[in-house]
Amino acid sequence: MDKNKVTMDEVVNVAKRRAFIYPGSEIYGGLANAWDYGPYGVLLKKNVKKIWWEDMVMKRPDIIGLDSAILMNPKVWEASGHLKEFTDPLVDCKKCKQRFKADDIKDKVCPECGGELTEARRFNLMFKTHAGPVDDESSLVYLRPETAQGIFVDFKNILDTTRVKLPFGVAQIGKSFRNEITPGNFIFRTREFEQFEIEYFVKSALEAKKAFDEWVKVRLEWYKSLGIHSENLRLREHTKDELAHYAIAATDIEYNFPFGFLELEGIANRGDYDLKQHEKFSGQDLKYFDEETKTQILPFVVEPSGGVDRTVLAILIDAYDKDRVEGEERTVLRFHPRIAPIKAAVFPLVKKEPLIMRAKEIYHQLKEKYFVEYDESGTIGRRYRRQDEIGTPYCITVDFDSLEDGAVTVRDRDTMKQDRVPLVAVQEWLEQRIK
Ligand code: ATP
């Protein structure tokens, strides 16, 4: 199906109907732009994070993991520049009192009521809270707006306690919070979201330049490996005037969302800005001793920084399809088997023994290793449709022939072709296909 024909309404509907994503706090009327991941959504999201962790950390000899705290000493945000620079220009409508991001205003008047707007002022996007029972300045802490700073702050500990040698990277997945002025487009922009970030440390500015080019390629290929169509992905280099305060160069990987090509992940060459700032503000030596040259180096860093929720959204949109089967329209989520929340469903052809018993045996056997489902209700066609809509790549049916030949029918979600697979080989058959 032509991806441009997929609307956000269709995606939001299937996400709700099929237990991927629910509106947050719905029984209380919701909370604007807060979303909960339902039973299939959580599996999809966990698969994205698991695959990222396997591909970026487990399979690479040069990357290690970290999980730093969300609440940090407020000095971190002074050093990083977030207290001063992490702002959006905001305007208020004098008439209807609504607030807008100044960058989104086209005609200098309120887009809602045409009223006069105030001058733009800087609005810091960091959420504030208080640690402990006293609500004063001394207890002020921030919810982290990015996971990256936790990595820089632990850099010294990592050097002192592990055997890393430059170049090396530190990877982290975790929640970040931004008090966005204009959140929206479902889970594209929310105030609470998850990021996966790598800080990749190298010896020199020249090496940083090379590592930057390399990371842009690695990350683009990674999105393709999730099954996202390459024609829906593109790279966009930042112009000098849009670079963040710390960046020497930045390239975004963009996805063709129904509301336009927009950022999925940003890759930035941050130079030695962060470690230099943290040296200055903490008074600690954050240099790396280079055995080869016997010199102290303050490493340069390249950062691939992506959003878990945006990746989930891109995967949902990219996988969404409609076709006709036996005269009926079917909605199908064509997830890559590696990403699919449910890997296989097991059915008895009819709700009768001993088919039920045989099917349940296979189900319990597979369930030890994978998320699989068992379903015996309704016609086989209806059961297929249900699995198609949650993107299950394979349906395994035990029929009367199975009792004779010890084989089952495996139906492929996309080709709808059916294969006979010996019962003893089902697990191996599945394993080969969902890697
Ligand atoms: P944008 O320009 O869309 O606000 P950004 O350039 O500020 O994004 P980064 O600071 O580079 O974003 O964050 C890295 C990644 O984190 C983004 O590519 C995106 O996938 C994700 N991300 C950032 N802000 C949000 C948000 N409010 N909601 C969901 N994901 C987000």
pLDDT in tens, the chain (435 residues): 454 579 999 999 999 999 999 999 999 999 999 999 999 999 999 999 999 999 999 999 999 999 999 999 999 999 999 999 898 889 999 999 988 888 888 888 998 899 999 989 898 999 999 998 888 888 999 999 999 999 999 999 999 999 999 999 999 999 999 999 889 999 999 999 999 999 999 999 999 999 999 999 999 999 999 999 999 999 999 998 888 878 899 999 999 999 999 999 999 999 999 999 999 999 999 999 999 999 999 999 999 999 999 999 999 999 999 998 888 899 999 999 999 999 999 999 999 999 999 999 999 999 999 999 999 999 999 999 999 999 999 999 999 999 999 999 999 999 999 999 999 999 999 999 998
The reply to whether ligand 1 has any atom less than 6 angstroms from the CB of 193 is yes
- Give the closest residue (by CA) to ligand 1 atom 28: 189
The reply to whether ligand 1 has any atom less than 6 angstroms from the CB of 180 is yes
Predicted local confidence at residue 135, as pLDDT = 84
The reply to whether ligand 1 has any atom less than 6 angstroms from the CB of 252 is no
CATH 3.40.50.800 domain residues, the chain = 342-433
| Distance from Cα 310 to the centre of ligand 1, integer Å | 8
Ligand 1, residues 176, 181, 195: which to mutate, most atoms within 8 A of Cβ?
Answer: 195
Which atom from ligand 1 is nearest to the alpha carbon of 244?
6
- Give the closest residue (by CA) to ligand 1 atom 12: 266
**Dist. CA 215–CA 270, nearest whole Å:** 13
| Distance from Cα 307 to the centre of ligand 1, integer Å | 6
The reply to whether ligand 1 has any atom less than 6 angstroms from the CB of 318 is no
Predicted local confidence at residue 104, as pLDDT = 84
Predicted local confidence at residue 4, as pLDDT = 53
The reply to whether ligand 1 has any atom less than 6 angstroms from the CB of 195 is yes
CATH number of 342-433: 3.40.50.800
- Give the closest residue (by CA) to ligand 1 atom 22: 307
Omega before residue 167 within 30° of 0, cis: yes
| Distance from Cα 430 to the centre of ligand 1, integer Å | 36
| Distance from Cα 351 to the centre of ligand 1, integer Å | 49
Which atom from ligand 1 is nearest to the alpha carbon of 265?
18
The reply to whether ligand 1 has any atom less than 6 angstroms from the CB of 144 is no
| Distance from Cα 264 to the centre of ligand 1, integer Å | 8
The reply to whether ligand 1 has any atom less than 6 angstroms from the CB of 308 is no
The reply to whether ligand 1 has any atom less than 6 angstroms from the CB of 307 is yes
The reply to whether ligand 1 has any atom less than 6 angstroms from the CB of 265 is yes
Predicted local confidence at residue 108, as pLDDT = 85
- Give the closest residue (by CA) to ligand 1 atom 8: 263
Which atom from ligand 1 is nearest to the alpha carbon of 189?
28
CATH 3.30.930.10 domain residues, the chain = 3-72+135-316
**Dist. CA 349–CA 98, nearest whole Å:** 58
CATH number of 3-72+135-316: 3.30.930.10
**Dist. CA 72–CA 280, nearest whole Å:** 17
The reply to whether ligand 1 has any atom less than 6 angstroms from the CB of 391 is no
Predicted local confidence at residue 107, as pLDDT = 82
**Dist. CA 209–CA 269, nearest whole Å:** 7
